[in-house]
Amino acid sequence: MAADRITKEHRSWNMSRIKCKNTKPELIVRSLLHRLGYRFRLYSKDLPGNPDIVLNKYRTIIFVHGCFWHRHQGCKFAYNPKSRQEFWKRKFESNINRDVYVSSELEKLGWNVVTVWECELRFEGKLAERINSELLKAIAKR
């Protein structure tokens, strides 16, 4: 196992700076949705997983996932850290399992679940098309 290059205290400080709400990727997706004319709620505490974005009219949930933390398959940003590999393996497995569980619970409640990956934000036009397509599919299901 490779040794950590920084102190435990500094690592803790670094990790404490990682936000879970109102992240830059979320703000980008929310801005895009707003420009497309969609209205939404944020972090609905009455739904499993406190979804990032809730579009009630379309019965759709949007999660904005970081490729590293949520392990976007095949993405260059979903790399494995060289230190504490066993810790990271458990952490990533836990994140993935929670994501699958939350999505299935939301789907059981009749919600359409869409995941937007952080790396998709570089291609805004393509992302806008995908979101529109997902919301049209949600309307057709009703």
pLDDT per residue rounded down to tens, the chain (142 residues): 456 677 877 766 766 666 567 788 999 999 999 999 999 999 888 999 999 999 999 999 999 999 998 999 999 988 888 888 899 999 999 999 999 999 999 999 999 999 999 999 999 999 999 999 999 888 887 7
Rounded Cα gap, residues 66 and 26, in angstroms? 10
pLDDT of residue 110: 94
φ, ψ (nearest 5 deg) of residue 126: -65, -40
Q: Which two tokens stand for residue 1?
A: 């196992």
Cβ contact 70:77 at 8 Å: no
pLDDT of residue 63: 95
CATH topology of domain 20-141: Endonuclease; Chain A (3.40.960)
pLDDT of residue 41: 94
pLDDT of residue 1: 47
pLDDT of residue 7: 81
